[in-house]
Amino acid sequence: MKRRWIISLACMAFLTISLGFTVAFSQKEDKPKVVVILKQLNTDYWKTVKYGAEKAFADFHIDGEVIAPDSEYPPTKQIQLLRQTLKQHPDAIIIAPTQPSAAISVLTEYEKKQNPVLFVDTDAKWKNQTSYIGTDDHTLGKKAGELLASMLQPGDQVALISGMAVSLGTAPRIRGAREALEASGIKIVTEQEGYDESGHVKSVIGTILKDYPDTKGVLATDDVMALAALQVTEKMDFPIPVVGTDGFVKMMKAVEEGKLSATVAQNPYDIGYIGVEQALKAIKGETVVQKIDTGVSVIVKENTKEYVDLMTTVLKDSRSNNSK
């Protein structure tokens, strides 16, 4: 009897353990798989998008992954990642396309499986996309232009530094900035591209200030170029306002320290978080908003500390998670 009891107990223990493994495995298998492909992960902006997406993975119990090439250019790097990801058969894919037309050629194959495809940061305006989550680039450019104009006087001259033409966000940002500046009577004396073909920042601001010494302000379509311009103007002792459009911590600290009076920021955390949230809704067959504008914030000295503290926490947690 004792032997039978021991055998029965052992069997029960085995079944319990087996059932536990089965349930755990089933729960893991039941998690939807979502892959987020960004343009890069080397700046505050993209690190914060990643952080927002990973927070959503945890909140909504998603088997998620955020990946990106080591650099934004050439765009073929991202396309290679996209092709590799499609072989993993994710339930939904979220992409910030560096070159939308190239990405769509691959996503067309993926869409045949009727899985959700969402765009963040850059709207490809593809007829088969599930949703776009990000900043309205025209509005962003307009806000940046209005901000720069508010620091100047009608008739003042400014320079625009734009991103690479391959980026869909560049043209609407420049268009919005032009509209705002011209409406305020500000003269745009030059517009130059701030990156070379390899995606490295060019030293254009020094040349601009020499060729157009009456320049009273600079607007750049991203903070990488804005910070490069700010560094040169400081070195040349040429104190003029420089406005960027991302919300890097360094730009915010420049406002906090009085080097700049204000700058414009996007909301990258919301882009990552809401993107994943909408992807899950699409997987479940729920209604998905086709376009979500995550808004623009004007950073001035009065609210800088709040934003700097938030971004510092986000980036610190992001580094901590990456080291695990």
Q: What is the mean pLDDT of residues 160-189?
A: 90
pLDDT value at 41 more than 90: yes
pLDDT value at 40 more than 70: yes
pLDDT value at 39 more than 70: yes
pLDDT at 245 (0 to 100): 92
pLDDT at 322 (0 to 100): 64
CATH topology of domain 137-265: Rossmann fold (3.40.50)
User: Which sequence spans correspond to the domains of the chain?
Assistant: 32-135+268-293, 137-265
Write down the mean pLDDT value for the chain: 88
Residue 274 or 4, more confident: 274
- With 0-12 / 13-18 / 19 or more C-beta atoms within 10 angstroms meaning exposed / middle / buried, residue 133 is buried
Tokens describing residue 117: 């495809």
Indicate the range of 11-20, 22-31, 84-93, 208-217 predicted with least confidence. 11-20
Instruction: Output DSSP code: residue 201.
Output: B
pLDDT-derived band at 265 (thresholds 50, 70, 90) equals very high
pLDDT at 20 (0 to 100): 53
pLDDT at 25 (0 to 100): 39
pLDDT at 11 (0 to 100): 47
**Contact present, 228 and 246 (Cβ < 8 Å):** no
User: What's the rounded Cα separation, in Å, for the pair 10 and 321?
Assistant: 41
User: What's the rounded Cα separation, in Å, for the pair 104 and 119?
Assistant: 11
pLDDT at 324 (0 to 100): 59
User: What's the rounded Cα separation, in Å, for the pair 155 and 178?
Assistant: 14
Instruction: Output DSSP code: residue 113.
Output: T
User: What's the rounded Cα separation, in Å, for the pair 16 and 178?
Assistant: 69
Instruction: Output DSSP code: residue 315.
Output: H
- Torsion over CA of 45, 51, 55 and 57, rounded to 10 degrees? 100
pLDDT digits (tens, 9 = 90+) for 136-166: 999 999 999 999 999 999 999 999 999 876 5
Q: Encode 141-180: b = buried (16+ Cβ within 10 Å), e = exposed.
A: bbbbbbbbbebbeeebbbbbbbbbebbbbbbbbbebbbeb
Q: What is the mean pLDDT of residues 192-216?
A: 90
Nearest to 90 by CA among 59, 111, 69, 119: 111
- Torsion over CA of 103, 78, 246 and 276, rounded to 10 degrees? 70
pLDDT value at 234 more than 60: yes
Q: What is the mean pLDDT of residues 65-82?
A: 93
pLDDT digits (tens, 9 = 90+) for 273-307: 999 999 999 999 999 999 999 999 999 989 998 88
pLDDT value at 241 more than 90: yes
pLDDT-derived band at 57 (thresholds 50, 70, 90) equals very high
pLDDT at 168 (0 to 100): 67
What is the architecture of the domain spanning 32-135+268-293?
3-Layer(aba) Sandwich (3.40)
pLDDT digits (tens, 9 = 90+) for 83-139: 999 889 999 999 999 999 999 989 988 778 788 999 999 999 999 999 999 999 999
pLDDT at 200 (0 to 100): 84
- 155 phi, psi to nearest 5 deg: 100, -15
pLDDT at 29 (0 to 100): 58
What is the percent of the chain where pLDDT is above 70?
88
User: What's the rounded Cα separation, in Å, for the pair 44 and 257?
Assistant: 19
pLDDT at 4 (0 to 100): 45
How many other C-beta atoms lie within 10 A of the C-beta of residue 137? 25
Nearest to 40 by CA among 97, 87, 115, 2: 97
pLDDT value at 23 more than 90: no
State the pTM of this model: 0.83
pLDDT at 321 (0 to 100): 67
**Contact present, 231 and 253 (Cβ < 8 Å):** no
**Contact present, 141 and 177 (Cβ < 8 Å):** yes
Domains 32-135+268-293 and 137-265 belong to one CATH topology: yes
